[in-house]
Amino acid sequence: MLITNATLPDGRTHIDVLVQGGRIAALGAKLAAPEGMQVIDAAGQLLSPPFVDAHFHMDATLSYGLPRVNASGTLLEGIALWGELKPQLTQQALVERALQYCDWAVARGLLAIRSHVDVCDDRLLAVEALLHVRERVKPYLDLQLVAFPQDGVLRSPNALANLKRALDQGVDVVGGIPHFERTMADGAQSVKILCELAAERGLRVDMHCDESDDPLSRHIETLAFHAQRLGLHGRVTGSHLTSMHSMDNYYVSKLLPLMREAGVHAIANPLINITLQGRHDTYPKRRGMTRVPELLAAGINVGFGHDCVMDPWYSLGSADMLEVAAMGLHVAQMTSQAQMRQCFDAVTVNSAKILGLDDYGLEVGKAADFVLLQAGDPIEAIRLRATRLLVVRRGQVVACSAPAKSVMSLPGRPVSVDFRLQR
Ligand code: FE2
């Protein structure tokens, strides 16, 4: 396959991409197509590496309304509701919902997902189901699993043993939820235990960390401390970090360099954070999303995750990482040209770094995975939630969509519009 005349996210234009044997064989201007090769004219549109979702819950996705809807809309009612649903889960239903979500993801050009999987059910039903799904989707989607003790690794009986069993079965990453443990001290202890477990097993860490509006929640400090102590530089991620929104500014000025020094990644989940946080506030209501521009300015890698789609915590969503980027941009007021591009990076390259995807990126020698968007650049892609014209995995087209346009019938006006600026 030869893609011609593409624009890349870094601003390069008129770029051709030659794919051979499922890998990018050449990338540059005016490449020649070998005899009989499929040639696709990108017509100046944006060719991006695939979207990456750094934080998701595939065991809960598409379960909206089962067994009932979250009436208060809070995080805690969502956790209670998930607890009601858990005993009713069947492996077949889990697999079917996950596979359906993966279809949506591929259609949206989302080809790598890190999903947490709850290990607090002694049957480990969801673990087994998602390990099966990980294999099923492997040809077209990288699914990375995090052993997530939803009810607290110390607070919930058997959780630590179950988490270790899940890792034994092949789950990739060690998870945690220190702010949900009974005390701050237990939370800190859980971070220590889980980081040591990851270090022993040579695994990455990704914890739900300080997902509250509590300005005094300090588990990210503990997480950075153990990452540093155990030499886990670049392999540890703090997810959510919403308490940072409410923290004292002086304290944050100390915390950011500690995170940077420990090589800790951060993940914000804009759609979910803006929906779930600040629920105990009257007015003004806090937004609850972590300090994304400040983290980036401190040299910390930040990814955006979708977190939830149609589950006990969130009733909307459709695997569209451009919707996630748009919400992150708005909530963090990242409106400069450079910042809008950073929001695109947060759902592509930054998240790929968090997952440790070595084969990712539009470079010679990397896997031929990419998405052609009906947009001229990353900012336009976010503005339009651009149509994924073509989704390619290992050099094969795995999804395509017709360009979005409206046919008009206005006297003396154009016959169609596609919402791109005509100058
Ligand atoms: Fe989450």
DSSP secondary structure string, 32-74?
A: PPPTT--EEE-TT-EEEPPEEEEEE-TTTTT-TTSS---SS--
How far apart CA 194 and CA 206 sit, in angstroms, is: 10
Average pLDDT, the chain: 97
Give pLDDT, residue 423.
74
Give pLDDT, residue 40.
97
Residue 355 Cα to ligand 1 middle (Å)? 15
Q: Which residues contact 336 (CB under 8 A, 6 or more apart)?
A: none
Residue ranges of E strands in 230-304:
236-240, 264-268, 302-304
Residue 55 Cα to ligand 1 middle (Å)? 6
Q: How many residues are given for the chain?
A: 423
Give pLDDT, residue 226.
98
How far apart CA 288 and CA 53 sit, in angstroms, is: 20
Q: Cis omega before residue 67 (within 30°)?
A: yes
pTM of the complete model: 0.97
**pLDDT digits 0-9 by tens, 140-194:** 999 999 999 999 999 999 999 999 999 999 999 999 999 999 999 999 999 999 9
CA angle at 53 for the pair 48 and 54, rounded to the nearest 5°:
120
Residue 33 Cα to ligand 1 middle (Å)? 45
For residue 176, the one-letter residue type is: G
Indicate if 200 belongs to the active site.
Answer: no
Residue 338 Cα to ligand 1 middle (Å)? 28
Residue 210 Cα to ligand 1 middle (Å)? 11
How far apart CA 234 and CA 205 sit, in angstroms, is: 10
Domain residue spans in the chain? 2-49+362-407, 51-355
Cβ-contact 197, 232 below 8 angstroms: no
Catalytic residue among 211, 221, 323, 380: 211
**pLDDT digits 0-9 by tens, 363-386:** 999 999 999 999 999 999 999 999
Residue 321 Cα to ligand 1 middle (Å)? 15
Residue 56 Cα to ligand 1 middle (Å)? 6
Residue 26 Cα to ligand 1 middle (Å)? 38
Residue 372 Cα to ligand 1 middle (Å)? 29
Residue 2 Cα to ligand 1 middle (Å)? 39
pLDDT (tens, 9 = 90+) of the chain, 423 residues, equals 999 999 999 999 999 999 999 999 999 999 998 899 999 999 999 999 999 999 999 999 999 999 999 999 898 899 899 999 989 999 999 999 999 999 999 999 999 999 999 999 999 999 999 999 999 999 999 999 999 999 999 999 999 999 999 999 999 999 999 999 999 999 999 999 999 999 999 999 999 999 999 999 999 999 999 999 999 999 999 999 999 999 999 999 999 999 999 999 999 999 999 999 999 999 999 999 999 999 999 999 999 999 999 999 999 999 999 999 999 999 999 999 999 999 999 999 999 999 999 999 999 999 999 999 999 999 999 999 999 999 999 999 999 999 999 999 999 999 999 999 887
2-49+362-407: CATH class: mainly beta
Give pLDDT, residue 422.
81
Residue 217 Cα to ligand 1 middle (Å)? 17
Q: Which residues contact 369 (CB under 8 A, 6 or more apart)?
A: 49, 50, 111, 359, 360, 392, 393, 394
Give pLDDT, residue 421.
87
Helix axes 321-331, 337-346, angle to 10 degrees: 140
Helix axes 249-262, 219-229, angle to 10 degrees: 30
Query: According to the CATH classification, is domain 51-355 in 2.40.30.10?
Result: no
Residue 313 Cα to ligand 1 middle (Å)? 9
Q: In this structure, what DSSP letter does residue 390 have?
A: E
Displacement of CA 209 from its chain's centroid (Å): 16
Give pLDDT, residue 9.
98
**Considering only CA atoms, which of 310, 166, 309, 300 is closest in space to residue 233?**
300
